[in-house]
Amino acid sequence: MKKIFLSLAVIVSICVSSVAQKSVVPNHEWFEDARFGMFVHFGPYSVLCNGEWVMNTQSITVSDYHKLQKIFDPRLFDAKKWVATVKEAGMKYIAFTSRHHDGFSNWNTKLSDWNIMNTPYGKDLVKQLADECHRQGIKLVLYYSLLDWSRDDYSFTTGRTGQKTGRTEQKEWTSYINFMKAQLTELLTNYGEISGIWFDGEWDQLPSEDSGVAVTHSMSKVDWHFGEIYDLIHKLQPNCMIANNHHLAALPGEDYQAFEKDLPGENVGGGFAANQVVAKHLPLETCETINSSWGYSLRDNKYKSEKELIHLLVRAAGYGANLLLNVGPMPTGEFDEISVSRLQYMGKWLSSYGQTIYGTRGGMIKPQTWGAVTQKSNVYYIHILNKESDVLTLSFPENIQSVRWLNGSEKITWKQNKKSGEATFNLNNIPDEIDSIIEVIFKNK
């Protein structure tokens, strides 16, 4: 009897330790310091100039949609130019759609013919981008759709989208899971360092966020095998960070938390993220579109203004989050002119004020209607985005040593109550329309 107990104890302890050993924590300092990255949605849908959901929104069948394989020909794609634009914008990483919901793979995958090599273009986009990112010191994250509007082994019968694609025969779910694992293995084996995998689409198998139901992972109609998939990623590249845009509480193994069109905790992103709770233990990222579309859309002229974009970046940083700003390249493979000029503006702004964004953490208070605070060691940066009054009063935990406007030589008047830590700044001469920044230095302890 004793022997049985002993061997049971051994088995239990082996199981427990094998779980514990799996917990890999990738190096994420670069990510938290980066604060600004580019999201790129690009694929056969770009040809139709109507966003990346066009297959679903226009109820295009798989057989019709796949005709795009003979048409998608982004001859003007130039990885060098893309990465140069990213750098000029002051961005530190790219998140690129390796495979979106239409199931098309932008790389030389051996797992499916529905890929870039079988287009007239015929060259591996992921490879070119990865090589160039490595060359120019930009990190590469790969977006990977969990849901698939093309494959028969994706559980389309239980999915919320992709119902009008003409698929009739529901094939084995395990084959789909194995397919994803094999594709991720390719991406994490053949392209050098990949800094992150950004999943999207779990929500396809969950009740709608608009339905009023408090959605949880356990309501999923399928088993995604996330544990195995995350372990596989961390085994192949221990420093590869995992994000999953499920709009729900973070799962074990996820290394940063993604917010879609919503700053962390604001929960104003429409149906998305209505109840997404901010994870205390994870780095954060908010993704947003430069106009209102992810994939290129011909009639979308709703570009955010330069001012709106700077405010977004600053407010994200005030929350301690990165801004992942999306650009949908034209079918030719080039970025459109307006996007490029917005990006150049941001890059210029960052070349003057980057020290208030890069490498900072969120300030002692969350962003407010008047602006946001960022912090780096003994310096606080108070960003006045919308002046609401002539004075601003904030409480600081330490004694202030010096205060100045970063964007002008005007003097700023201020005083601090040493007992309460409360400081008052006079804003009657704010120097900048877009962002007036007060640099507050504390005495080094």
Residues at the interface with ligand GLC (CB under 6 A)? 41, 52-53, 200, 245, 260, 287, 294
**Min. distance of Cβ 203 from ligand GLC in angstroms?**
7
Q: How far is the CB of 239 from ligand GLC (least distance, A)?
A: 23
Pairing outcome for strands 321-327 and 36-40:
parallel
Q: Which residues contact 202 (CB under 8 A, 6 or more apart)?
A: 146, 147, 217, 220, 224, 244, 246, 248
* Amino acid identity, position 314: V
Task: Give the span between the Cα atoms of 94 and 91, in whole angstroms.
Answer: 8
| Least spacing, CB of residue 380 vs ligand GLC, in Å | 31
**Structure-derived torsion over alpha carbons of residues 234, 235, 238, 244, reported in degrees to the nearest 10:** -10
Closest CA to 246 of 283, 268, 275, 266: 275
Give the phi and the psi of residue 423 in degrees, each rounded to 5.
-120, 145
165 versus 360: smaller Cβ distance to ligand GLC: 165
Kindly tell me which of 285 and 435 has the beta carbon lying closer to ligand GLC: 285
Half-sphere exposure (CA, 13 Å, Cβ side) for 368?
A: 14
Contact of 267 with 276, CB cutoff 8 Å: yes
Q: How far is the CB of 183 from ligand GLC (least distance, A)?
A: 17
Look up residue 348 and give its amino acid: K
Looking only at the bridges linking them, the beta strands covering 139-145 and 196-200 are: parallel
Residues 234 and 26 sit within 8 Å (Cβ to Cβ): yes
- For ligand GLC, the closer of residues 103 and 371 by Cβ is 103
For the bound state, the minimum distance from the C-beta of residue 143 to ligand GLC, rounded and expressed in Å, comes to 7
Name the residue whose CB lies closest to ligand GLC: 260
Shortest gap between Cβ of 334 and ligand GLC (angstroms)? 20
Residue number, 162 or 333, with CB nearest to ligand GLC:
162
User: End-to-end distance of the chain based on CA atoms, in angstroms?
Assistant: 62
| Minimum distance from residue 201 beta carbon to ligand GLC (Å) | 7
Work out how close the CB of 306 gets to ligand GLC at its nearest, in angstroms, rounded to a whole number: 23
CA angle 56, 57, 61 (to 5 degrees): 45
Distance CA 413, CA 100 (A): 53
Pairing of strands 241-245, 257-260: unpaired
- Closer to ligand GLC at the Cβ: 106 or 245? 245
Least CB distance to ligand GLC at residue 100 (A): 6
Of the pair 36, 294, the CB lying nearest ligand GLC is at 294
Measure the CA–CA gap between 143 and 102, rounded to whole angstroms. Answer: 13
Measured in whole angstroms, how far is the alpha carbon of residue 139 from the centre of its chain? 13
Task: Assign 327 to helix, strand or coil.
Answer: strand
CB atoms within 10 A of CB 33: 16
Looking at the Cβ atoms of 156 and 294, the one nearer to ligand GLC is: 294
